[in-house]
């Protein structure tokens, strides 16, 4: 099996972990002292903190789905591109559907936070 095949397999497992509603399974992909920074927020350091950060999304979006849009390696860095889809029905939820795409590289996740907040308050604009 090639390195590319191994990376794709790992990314597919990571995607499935996000869809599992088991935040600890997502955190298991990080080293015990690893970190995850979402956009420019403070890093969640260690598996317990990563589990908590992931759980926030899973609680807010009980039926969330994550789709792998692509995987690439450039200059030795792997970039995982994804689309997150869910309805904000968790505690205090708006009931609005959210669909946002982003990417992760190294230990950082990136998405358009302004668009995310707009969709939380208004829902997905299905017209375009």
Residue 66: the pLDDT is 97
Q: Is residue 21 included in any domain, yes or no? A: yes
| pTM as predicted | 0.86
pLDDT, averaged per 10 consecutive residues of the chain (128 residues), comes to 87 97 97 93 96 97 96 89 97 96 87 92 70
Separation CA 98–CA 56 (nearest Å): 15
Sheet of strand 65-74, all strands in order from the earlier edge strand to the far edge: 44-45, 35-38, 108-111, 97-105, 77-87, 65-74
Residue 74: the pLDDT is 81
Residue 126: the pLDDT is 56
Residue 95: the pLDDT is 96
What CATH number corresponds to the domain at position 115? 3.10.450.50
Q: What is the 3-state secondary structure (H, E, C) of 37-83?
A: EECCCCCEECHHHHHHHHHHHHHHCCCCEEEEEEEEEECCEEEEEEE
Q: Is residue 127 included in any domain, yes or no? A: no
Residue 127: the pLDDT is 46
CB 32 within 8 A of CB 46: yes
Pick from 69, 96, 99: which is nearest to 85 by CA?
A: 99
The tens digit of pLDDT for each residue in 21-37 reads 999 999 999 999 999 99
The tens digit of pLDDT for each residue in 64-78 reads 999 999 999 888 889
Q: Is residue 54 included in any domain, yes or no? A: yes
What is the total count of domains within the chain? 1
Give residue 87's domain range.
3-122
Q: Is residue 36 included in any domain, yes or no? A: yes
Residue 128: the pLDDT is 45
Helix (H, G, I), strand (E, B) or coil at 98: strand
Q: Is residue 128 included in any domain, yes or no? A: no
CB 104 within 8 A of CB 82: yes
């Amino acid at each position: 099996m090639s390195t590319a095949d191994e990376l794709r397999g790992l990314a597919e497992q990571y995607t499935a972990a996000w869809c599992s509603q088991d935040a600890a399974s997502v955190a298991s992909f990080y080293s015990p002292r690893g970190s995850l920074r979402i956009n420019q927020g403070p890093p969640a350091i260690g598996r317990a903190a990563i589990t908590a950060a992931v759980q926030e999304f899973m609680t807010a979006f009980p039926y969330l789905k994550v789709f792998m849009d692509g995987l690439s390696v450039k200059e030795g860095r792997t970039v995982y591109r994804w689309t997150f889809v869910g309805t904000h029905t968790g505690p205090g939820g708006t009931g609005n559907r959210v669909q946002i795409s982003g990417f992760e590289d190294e230990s950082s996740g990136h998405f358009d936070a302004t668009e995310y907040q707009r969709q939380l308050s208004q829902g997905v604009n299905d017209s375009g």
